[in-house]
Amino acid sequence: MRPVILPGLLTILFTCLLVPNALAIDVNPDDITSLRDAAKTVASNMMQFYNDRDSKDIPGKLDGTWWEGGSMFMTLIQYWYLTGDDQFNDAIQEGMYWQKGENDFFPSNYSQYLGNDDQVFWGLAAITAAELNFPERDNEPSWVSLAEGVFNSQIPRWDMTSCGGGLRWQIWPYQNGFKLKNAISNGGLFQLSARLALYTKNATYAEWAEKIWDWSATTPLLRKTWVIADTTNVDANCKDHGDFQWTYNYATYICGAGYMHNYTNGEETKWLEGMSGLIKTSDQFFPDSASNQVISDITCEPIKKCDRNQKTFKSYFTSWLGFMSLIVPTNTTADMMARFKTSAVAAGQQCSGGRDGKHCGIRWTKRTEWDGTSGLEQEMSVLGVLNAVMVPFKARAPFNTHNGGNSQSRPHGESDTEDTPGPITTGDKVGAGILTAMFVIFWAGAVSWMVKDK
Ligand SMILES: *[C@@H]1O[C@H](CO)[C@@H](O)[C@H](O)[C@H]1NC(C)=O
Ligand SMILES: *[C@@H]1O[C@H](CO)[C@@H](O)[C@H](O)[C@H]1NC(C)=O
Ligand SMILES: *[C@@H]1O[C@H](CO)[C@@H](O)[C@H](O)[C@H]1NC(C)=O
Ligand SMILES: *[C@@H]1O[C@H](CO)[C@@H](O)[C@H](O)[C@H]1NC(C)=O
């Protein structure tokens, strides 16, 4: 039997827990100073997590995850651009260059277990850096060339052996998910291609963007009803569908379509139609519980089951659409931008945890009732929505080669600017040889294991 005193005690306990809510982070979405102050607090707390990681000797590598490093830098580059606060720029450059691999963000330390989606997020960080004229370092590849490196390493993986095309989620047969083609991998490369097209004006990127969109539309990954499936299986010839709904899947396709709309000068109605259709079906991410104004990853938040990846998704949805709003007709995103304002206020209210009473939870729909969680991912999400709301104050369309973008397109690496190809050291060759041999052995092992398994 429960002692009668418990409810009383619980009330006192809850009241104590609620006290820090007085702190939180105040956000006035119509005041750029308020937004910048809030963003600075959130970015600083995010970088505190980054600086406290175990693997801090490896720039850009977070504990237990590689891909989130790329998306964290992407969010920080946006932050620098919108606030002018450059205190994290060295860390961004250092991490981005350290993880560049062979100028394709596929570093050999991790490439044995990376998926296409992991890699593409770093490519999206690089094209963001180019579009915002984020400073480059001498003797390092340009931001655009790094984004192009990701594109050129993914295109050969376009898989005609099943479903008439598409990228698989995983790259290696021994990985779970090799049999799946998923929305974030295909949508990610679609968006990267569209942004490369607008930046470089090189039609190859636009052709691929259109091809990926059109292929996706032959599968449940991009339905005519504008509902996006998360995954589809090659064994079912990409007719089946895993239908978990995630904000970031929608955001990849919405933004790619927005960039294509602008690239094609609005001459092809399909892009605006697709973009608007997908924005409409994204209404589902604004639940009744917060008057349909506060964004939520509805598949995991209400049941409190968001993993660390999922905790970052809202950052992409909000900040990508925020930047895209500058290159599409104003009325197509106005309603969404208004909802981002309400979401930013709610997100600030969620930031009442931790020792400083400013650490953010993930369930913004709960507003002042802190959800009891904190972490780098939570900070990244809040920074994303603050970035989105700051975009209209800057109101400058992304840079490209025709309007002052400094980053140079070099799809074939640095040799593009030299008469003779850059030297390849013997060390490089030996390293690559060993790796290739390892992959072949791995691959053969995995395949024979799979065959045996059947
Ligand atoms: C690869 O691992 C080594 C050994 O831990 C480390 O020194 C190096 O910085 C890592 N490289 C990258 C790109 O993470
Ligand atoms: C593309 O973006 C530019 C920059 O914001 C804008 O001036 C132009 O109107 C956009 N084009 C279309 C077709 O929306
Ligand atoms: C935006 O405005 C255009 C031109 O006035 C109109 O045709 C279109 O339907 C509007 N779109 C939305 C989503 O309101
Ligand atoms: C266009 O991009 C593709 C893919 O990166 C590249 O192979 C091609 O050389 C580029 N064309 C020009 C003119 O730069």
307-340 pLDDT per residue, tens: 999 999 999 999 999 999 999 999 999 999 999 9
Query: Is any ligand 1 atom within 6 A of the Cβ of residue 97?
Result: no
What pLDDT score does 414 carry? Answer: 63
Which of ligand 4's atoms lies nearest the C-alpha of 411? Answer: 5
The number of residues making up the chain comes to 454
What pLDDT score does 416 carry? Answer: 53
Q: Is residue 23 part of a domain?
A: no
Query: Is any ligand 3 atom within 6 A of the Cβ of residue 276?
Result: yes
What pLDDT score does 439 carry? Answer: 46
Q: Is residue 265 part of a domain?
A: no
CA–centroid distance, residue 248 to ligand 3 (Å) = 25
Q: Please write down the long-range contacts of 239-248, taking CB distance under 8 Å and 24 or more positions apart.
A: 242/180, 244/299, 245/284, 245/285, 245/298, 245/299, 246/183, 246/184, 246/297, 246/299, 246/310, 246/313, 247/282, 247/285, 247/295, 247/297, 247/313, 247/314, 247/316, 247/317, 248/184, 248/313, 248/316, 248/317
Q: Is residue 307 part of a domain?
A: no
CA–centroid distance, residue 88 to ligand 2 (Å) = 31
Span 200-254, pLDDT tens digits: 999 999 999 999 999 999 999 999 999 999 999 999 999 999 999 999 999 999 9
d(CA 372, CA 362): 9
Q: Is residue 335 part of a domain?
A: no
What pLDDT score does 453 carry? Answer: 34
Query: Is any ligand 1 atom within 6 A of the Cβ of residue 111?
Result: no
d(CA 238, CA 250): 19
Nearest CA to ligand 1 atom 8: 58
Beta bridge partners of 180: 233
Q: Is residue 89 part of a domain?
A: yes
Give the ligand with the smallest distance to the CA of 329: 2
Q: Is residue 86 part of a domain?
A: yes
The widest CA-to-CA distance across the chain, in whole angstroms, is 85
Q: Is residue 78 part of a domain?
A: yes
Chunked mean pLDDT (size 10), the chain, 454 residues:
42 46 86 98 98 97 98 98 98 98 98 97 98 97 98 98 98 95 98 98 98 98 98 98 98 98 97 98 97 98 98 98 98 98 98 94 96 97 98 95 95 61 40 44 43 33
What pLDDT score does 12 carry? Answer: 43
Query: Is any ligand 2 atom within 6 A of the Cβ of residue 331?
Result: no
What pLDDT score does 422 carry? Answer: 40
Q: Is residue 239 part of a domain?
A: no
CA–centroid distance, residue 108 to ligand 1 (Å) = 9
CA–centroid distance, residue 332 to ligand 3 (Å) = 7
Domain total in the chain: 1
Query: Is any ligand 1 atom within 6 A of the Cβ of residue 100?
Result: no
Give the ligand with the smallest distance to the CA of 147: 4
This prediction has a pTM of 0.89
Q: How far is CA 294 from the centre of its chain?
A: 20
What pLDDT score does 355 carry? Answer: 86
What pLDDT score does 413 carry? Answer: 81
Domain range for 101 is 53-157
Which of ligand 4's atoms lies nearest the C-alpha of 151? Answer: 5
Which of ligand 2's atoms lies nearest the C-alpha of 328? Answer: 14
Ligand 2, pocket-test mutation among 267, 327, 328, 391, most atoms within 8 A of CB: 327
Nearest CA to ligand 1 atom 9: 58
